[in-house]
Amino acid sequence: MRTLTAIVLILFCICSNAFGADKPNIVILLADDLGYRDVSYHGGAIRTPNIDGIAAEGVKLERFYACPMCSPTRSGLMTGRWPIRTGTMRAVIPPWCNYGLPTSEKTIANLVADAGYKHRACIGKWHLGHNQVKWQPLSRGFTHFYGHYNGAIDYFTHEREGEVDWHRGTETIHEEGYTTDLVSAEAVRFIAGVPKGEPYLLYLPFNAPHSPYQAKPEDEAKYPNLEGKHRTYAAMVDCLDQAVGRVLAAIENRGDADNTFVLFMSDNGGVHDVGDNLPYRGSKLTPYEGGVRVVACVRWPGGGLTGGKTCDEHIGYIDIYPTVKRIVGLADAPDPNPLDGVDVLDVMRGKTAAPKRAWYSWEAQTVLRENLALHDGAWKLVVPGASVLRDRGAAKAELYQINDDPSEKHDVAKQHADVVERLLDKAITFRKLRRSDGVPAYGEGREGFKAPKDWVITD
């Protein structure tokens, strides 16, 4: 009887491995300020063969949404929750801001740790709080950190506010190199260093192609027909794609690419007059589609995300956490806070439609204006430059039949005043979720700020 039981267990293990029971590697590649049409598979002029390869081999996510700026997207990606709940939706977290993603929030790194992942790396731009150690990556579930706390660092000197913001773990390091190359080299080392048979999480938030617009001469030489910042920007995106290629090659060299979930996305749309967001209206820091509907694609051959298919369902950044939660085998595990995102694995596989739900965008980087948008079925409400909490912002409200008018050319608010009023009620309810102690307006605290030496934070 014992012999029969042993045989059954062996057969079960063999079958389980054959059907991919081994936990997959999770790789999230996050571009910064990349325009929707800045990849060549969307018809852009910049060569991006490696990003295109993910789309061609996996699934193109053609209606994938982020926030109109970076810190909020990173917060929602990390937690599966609307960043307005965590105080991180109003503005980015600038160098002088003493705020971070609250420690009461469980991150995607904490999540995969619960699933037994011993190797969890954040390599690149953090931008979720740095002025206290409790907000830094190694305090938020990651076992490996290499990169920078702040956004907009110098690509060659690695400085922000006159001090070097470049770290391995909690130590500041001084090294030469272009940041995009350095973080991809570190990612390659990390992947190669994980023992075979052990799964890993690699979160690789690039700084590129965010400003300052700086590129290597050899990359700029590839775009002689462009001038000024447009040439530099194209070179930065090209270098980003090369970095993606090196990471993909490291995944292949490890031998378990079929069981590696790779997501590529941008944290928001491209910057006005720099990035290309066509065919959509708007850009970074706007609630229009060009600011929030971003380039995204995913590949996981062993998990059915393959074949170059297209997913046109409305999904986005807050859905990453709950989807990964299922992928690592914790779909039914409780979370400390209610999730706003949903598991969209079968949506990306093309097996089911995305759930019907309201989808919100909001930012208020400056004291003087707010921007809010709400998708609800076939409708999209936009309230540009006004607060819905002050006289509802109704005078500025715009309404679009977004399925038929994705470029937002035809405002039909006057023809559908009842829809505007209904959606404004929803928008107000959402806006009231903001924590009173959240990130302040971008410039608050800037006057007189002096960065700590080498961005060493000990408290």
Q: How many CB atoms lie within 10 A of CB 425?
A: 12
CA–centroid distance for 276 within its chain? 18
d(CA 401, CA 131): 43
Strand order in the sheet with 293-294: 293-294, 64-65, 315-316
| pLDDT recorded at residue 459 | 84
d(CA 59, CA 261): 11
| pLDDT recorded at residue 368 | 83
Q: Which residues of the chain have pLDDT under 50?
A: 1-21
| Domain 22-349 fold | Alkaline Phosphatase, subunit A (3.40.720)
* Ramachandran angles phi, psi of 422, nearest 5°: -65, -45
Residues in the chain: 459
| pLDDT recorded at residue 6 | 37
Domain boundaries, the chain: 22-349
| pLDDT recorded at residue 10 | 34
3-class secondary structure, 444: coil
What does the pLDDT look like over 373-423, one tens digit per residue? 999 999 999 999 989 998 777 778 999 999 999 999 999 999 999 999 999
